[in-house]
Structure 1
Amino acid sequence: MPKGEGNLIAQNRKARHDYTVMETIEAGMVLKGTEIKAIRNRRVNLKDGYVRIRDGEAFLVNVHISPYEQGNLFNHDPLRTRKLLMHKKQIAKLGAEAKNTGIALIPLKIYIKDGFAKVLIGVAKGKKQYDKRQDLKKKDMNREIDRTLKDRQR
């Protein structure tokens, strides 16, 4: 099973539009009790999230996990910074890549794998406006080609 193809919870669709993803890495997350319940209810938003490397540790920043409805006083801050669980070598490699200008570490997907919540992190480079337009043109052309091939088969 490819990375990110487990029980998909949330996906950052805008990421592939705004960035060119060069590499992906899977990481675990340190969560509170009600956060995992909210994740299983698919109450996650990855839109503005990113990964920050600080003091040899990786943190998931600005990812919104809504409070669990039945959690009352045990609920968590929806935008709190969450620690990521990765090998030291992986974190060092990501930190070195993140120091390059124009390189961003963004969460692409959150999914459940073997009962644990995982996040798929993309090492990405920002696209320029003309790159985005070019990608949309390619996508439209491929869609048109598929459509004509499908019509010919009938």
Structure 2
Amino acid sequence: MAQAATKTITTNKKARHDYFIIESFETGIELFGTEVKSIRAGSVNLKDSWCSIDNGEIFVKGMHISPYEKGNIFNRDPFRVRKLLMHKKEIMRLFGLVKQENYTLIPVSLYFKGSHVKMQLGLCKGKKLYDKRQDLAKRDAKRDIDRALKERNRF
């Protein structure tokens, strides 16, 4: 069986900055035709989006998909609530973790897997300010080390 090729559409960089991603899940997403065409054009933003579980179903809120230019009457509201496609057992497990452990569900990336649009959903724990500072310090130190090694290898 051939493996379906994946092509990343967009990633939520703010999610990695603001949250520790404990576990990630692949979900399908319920879209209309003009939304898929708009996503193919790269007109999607995950920056301020989050997920919630209502009545045993999981929904993504705050995700912006720009209206398709040639979609006229078939275009939908760019900020409409979209249903995610997961197994009931997975949804119930996530629901328990969100309620008991105070985790948050955040969309991490959106990508094509074959011809289907998939979303990587992260089970996240919020970072404190000092955690963000630690990450910045680690990144700066790594950058300085890489720079020094590059300079050393030049001569």
TM over 0.5: yes
Q: In structure 1, how many angstroms separate the alpha carbons of the residues matched to 2:40 and 2:113?
A: 12
State the TM-score, normalized to the length of structure 1. 0.93
Structure 1 segments (4+ residues) deviating >6 Å: none
Secondary structure at the counterpart of residue 138 of structure 2: helix
1:48: which partner in 2? 48
Q: Show CA shifts across 1:41-75 (max 9, x none).
A: 11001011011111111111110001000000010
Is 1:115 the equivalent of 2:115? yes
1:105: which partner in 2? 105
Aligned residue pairs, count: 150
Q: In structure 2, how many angstroms separate the alpha carbons of the residues matched to 1:115 and 1:93?
A: 28
Shift of 1:94: 1.1
Q: In structure 2, how many angstroms separate the alpha carbons of the residues matched to 1:22 and 1:118?
A: 19
State the TM-score, normalized to the length of structure 2. 0.93
Shift of 1:89: 1.4
TM-align CA RMSD: 1.2
Matched residue type, 2:57: E
Is 1:10 the equivalent of 2:36? no
Matched residue type, 1:31: L
Q: In structure 1, how many angstroms separate the alpha carbons of the residues matched to 2:128 and 2:104?
A: 14
Q: In structure 2, how many angstroms separate the alpha carbons of the residues matched to 1:125 and 1:133?
A: 16
Is 1:145 the equivalent of 2:145? yes
Q: In structure 2, how many angstroms separate the alpha carbons of the residues matched to 1:105 and 1:127?
A: 14
